[in-house]
Structure 1
Amino acid sequence: MVLSANEISASNVYPEKTPAFPGAEGYGRYVSGGRGGKVYHVTNLNDSGEGSFRWACDQKGARTIVFDVCGTIHLQSQLKLTNGDVTIAGQTAPGDGICVADWDFCIAAPNVIIRYMRFRPGDVSGGEPDGLSGMDGKRIIIDHCSVSWSVDECLSVYGNEHMTVQWCIISQSLRHSTHAKQAHGYGGNWGGKGATYHHNLLAHHDSRTPRLGNRPTYVQQDTTDIRNNVMYNWSGNGCYGGEGMKVNFVNNYYKPGPATDARATGSRQPLAYRICGLGVSTKENDGSYLIWGKYFVDGNDNPDYPSLLNKNWEMGIYPQISSENPGYTVATKDSIRLSEPLPYMYVSTHTAADAYEKVLAYAGCSRSR
């Protein structure tokens, strides 16, 4: 395979080059998961006990989890995956598949593959659950999952190393629910040291579509590649953050909806054509304190604002940066803009318009047996 000038060879990231599965791409392309290990069968929809999903997750050693049943698993408490080297093969479930409900699912282990699962915590727990979360991990790929009805963020998988989130639907976070801050309803936190987010749909969120955030471990080491995603009906701050991060925004499709404000707000331009409102951290105890990031922005499209396609930076980035950010000057906009993309692992990249059609056709937990 001939690499582009900015594409990273897999041998620089993984010692072996066997894809996680056909169609795996990005920084998590070569995650091995449970390959070569035991197979555990989920035979019931119970919260715990032998044959349950929790029981299978709690096993140790390389393993693949398959499902002999379909339906909704109503958790009684958070399900935290603490033992890695695992493949969760949701596509093996019969019928319409598996939904994990009522509490959050957290990835707290390395070398994880998750495919064709639904996560819908809702507010039954009375807490502030994410739908699917995971921080400070390594070698993770999440493929064709549907995550919705979270109280906090739907999908907050960030601060990880060598990770991909692809072909997922991240939608309908709960705005008025049990969150202590009251009105909430956020899409997710994204970022990482070698993190790819491609061909995902983010829809119907009050804010954080996504919120770009790093972790203290990776300040100024992030390389986050965001391409061919579809953002629909965002509100609040939309996409913002990126403090001290290095990010590609390539060929994403932004489609305003009924909740998307077309008016200017404060010192910023209308939210309806925002790509990202970049900023810096103002907290002295944050490792990225007063550090601007570096950003490559190209090919992003919005059907309601066709001029954005050729003016990504001039419309979608620069005027969206609040002048209230410390240290922000006219020179800042030139210092943070990149003319070439940051290094990235291979992704089959489409135009924004083509990605829109493909994401609508194929994203999410879309396989039935």
Structure 2
Amino acid sequence: MAAISLPYSHVDCNLRALAGQAEGFGRFAIGGLHGALYHVTTLSDDGPGSLRAGCRKKEPLWIVFELSGSIELSSHLSVSSYKTIDGRGQRVKLTGKGLRLKECEHVIICNLEFEGGRGHDVDAIQIKPNSKHVWIDRCSLKDYADGLIDITRESTDITISRCHFSNHDKTMLIGGDASNCGDRCMCVTIHHCFFDGTRQRHPRVRFAKVHLYNNYTSNWGIYAVCASVESQIYSQCNIYEAGHKKVAFKYLTEKAADQEDASTGCIISEDDLFIDGTQSGLSKPTASSNMFHPSQYYQTWTVIRATNELKHILQHCTGWQDVPRPPGP
């Protein structure tokens, strides 16, 4: 176990040092490492110098912002492959609609705010279908009509780190429907995040393998983490602090479209900290011998003991950060 610190602080030493530095399943995401620098020079929804214009370009790009403020999206903003959307050095908020990662790969989203998305099926970040090698880091997300981050339809190799989730109901969904049996391929890492009084789905999982570590989930409204059909959730050194609802882990039974019988998922809890009367709600997995371990997929990750000191760090060092844009072309 490492000393108390947030991981990969070295990624801010120069602009493109961020690429390939995620931990966990999204560790290969390079974003726009080999592309030109694209400067967002307007807060307009579209047009020259806009974020949307940069994201639609097919070539790799490292996107940075030359101004702070809110971008009101009139429709989902589609992000194409090999893009880094790097909010360091400014304070940029996306509102109205959200980002959509559709059939793309190698995308990094860093240091943005998402707030106030409205309309049917509007997520802050929607990852579907068949997207892979995605890293979402240091984002603040709140108050959207549907999910904050939804990962479905065979999207995989994704890491979500150091994000702050607040003022929301259905926070994070991994695996959208029991009929989508192809979602068995999905692998997601969530670490050093703060789920701050959000109601449910931290995350809710179908089919996927999910590694949770060093997250702080507090004062949920229904449950903290939910395992449904065939999901495998490895919860390691997280902090669960209940409010009115005391049970952290929930199991839901659903029938996969290609199976005769309904099933639930598995949750393994290793060195998690349950405080303020929290009950784990763990049930003995019926297929624990088939449960994955993160070391089968990656050899190292920055995990420390779940302590009050870690809780304090996650309360203050997650979400959008007032950090300068690192130097570099």
Structure 2 vs 1, CA of residues 106 and 64 (structure 1 numbering), >3 Å: closer, same or farther? same
Q: Which residue of 2 aligns with 1:279?
A: 252
Contact 1:249/1:296 (<8 A) preserved: yes
Q: Aligned match of 1:132 in 125, 137, 144? A: 125
Alignment correspondent of 1:90: 87
Q: Partner of 1:54: helix, strand, or coil?
A: helix
Q: CA deviation at 1:140?
A: 0.5
Report the equivalent of 2:64.
66
SS for the counterpart of 1:57 is helix
2:51 matched residue in structure 1: 53
Out of 182, 191, 194, which is 1:198 matched to? 191
How is 1:240-279 mapped onto 2 (pairs within 5 angstroms)?
A: 240-257=226-243, 260-261=244-245, 272-274=246-248, 276-279=249-252
Instruction: Using the TM superposition, give the Cα deviation of residue 112 of structure 1 relative to its aligned residue in structure 2, in angstroms.
Output: 0.4
- Taking only aligned residues, the RMSD between alpha carbons, in angstroms, comes to 2.6
Aligned to 2:206: 213
- Mapped partners of 1:287, 1:137: distance in 2: 26
Q: CA deviation at 1:305?
A: 3.1
Residue 356 (structure 1) shift: 1.7
SS of the equivalent of 1:49 reads coil
1:288/1:198 CA distance change after superposition, 3 Å:
farther
Residues 223/120 of structure 1: CA separation in 2 closer, same or farther (3 Å cut) = same
Partners in 2 of 1:286 and 1:46 — Cα distance?
46
Q: Which residue of 2 aligns with 1:350?
A: 304
Distance in 2 between the 1:208 and 1:254 partners?
13
Instruction: For residues 225-278 of structure 1, give each alpha carbon's deviation from its aligned partner in whole angstroms, at most 9, with x where no partner exists.
Output: 111111111112442133212221111111123xx33xxxxxxxxxx142x212
Residue 6 of structure 1 is matched in structure 2 by none
Q: What secondary structure sits across from 1:27 in the alignment?
A: helix
Which residue number in structure 2 is paired with residue 186 of structure 1?
Answer: 170
CA distance in 2, matches of 1:341, 1:355: 23
Aligned AA (1:187) = T
Equivalent pair of 1:156/1:188 in contact (CA under 8 Å):
yes
Structure 1 residues 105-184: aligned runs within 5 Å:
105-108=99-102, 109-123=104-118, 126-135=119-128, 136-158=130-152, 159-173=154-168
Distance 1:288 1:368, change over 3 A: farther
Letter in 2 for 1:117: L
* Long gaps (5+) in structure 1: 1-17, 174-184, 215-221, 262-271, 309-314, 319-331
Q: Which amino acid aligns with 1:86?
A: K
| Alpha carbons 1:146, 1:169 under 8 Å: kept | yes
Per-residue deviation, 1:357: 2.5
Cα shift readout 1:275-308 (whole Å, capped 9, x = no counterpart): x2123313x63669624444422111122138x6
Q: CA deviation at 1:355?
A: 3.2
1:312-350 Cα shifts (integer Å, max 9, x gaps): xxx4311xxxxxxxxxxxxx7453377984434332001
Amino acid paired to 1:54: R
Q: Within 2, Cα distance between the matches of 1:229 and 1:291?
A: 27
Amino acid at match of 1:245: S
3-state SS of paired residue (1:316): coil
The answer to whether the 8 Å contact 1:273/1:305 transfers is no
CA distance 1:116–1:92, shift in 2 (3 Å): same
Residues 288/115 of structure 1: CA separation in 2 closer, same or farther (3 Å cut): farther
Query: Which fold has the larger relative contact order, with Cα–Cα distance below 8 Å and residues 6 or more apart in sequence?
Result: 2
Relative distance call for 1:337 and 1:234 in structure 2 (3 A) is farther
**Aligned-residue offset at 1:122:** 3.3
Q: Counterpart amino acid of 1:362? A: C
Q: Using the alignment, how far apart are the partners of 2:48 and 2:70 within structure 1?
A: 17
Once the two structures are superposed, the pairs formed by residues 12-23 of structure 1 within 5 Å of their partners are 20-21=18-19
The letter of the residue matching 1:163 is: I
Alpha-carbon spacing, 1:246–1:238, altered in 2? closer, same or farther (3 Å): closer
Closer, same or farther: CA 305–237 of 1 in aligned 2, 3 Å? closer
Cα contact 2:63–2:83 (8 A) shared by 1: yes
Q: Shift in Å at residue 116 of structure 1?
A: 0.4
Q: TM-score, normalised by structure 2?
A: 0.81
How many residue pairs align between the two structures?
294
Equivalent residue letter for 1:301: L
User: Could you tell me how far apart the structure 2 residues matched to 1:288 and 1:146 are?
Assistant: 41
Paired residues of 1:119 and 1:146 also in contact (CA < 8 A) = yes
Q: CA deviation at 1:70?
A: 0.7
Q: What secondary structure sits across from 1:76 in the alignment?
A: coil
Whether 1:364 aligns to 2:319 is yes
* Structure 2, gaps ≥5 residues long: 1-15, 176-184, 325-329
Residues 245 and 90 (structure 1), Cα distance of their counterparts in 2 relative to 1, 3 Å cut: same
Q: Which entry has the higher C-alpha Rg, 1 or 2?
A: 1
Cα offset for 1:199?
A: 0.6
- Secondary structure of 1:61 counterpart: coil
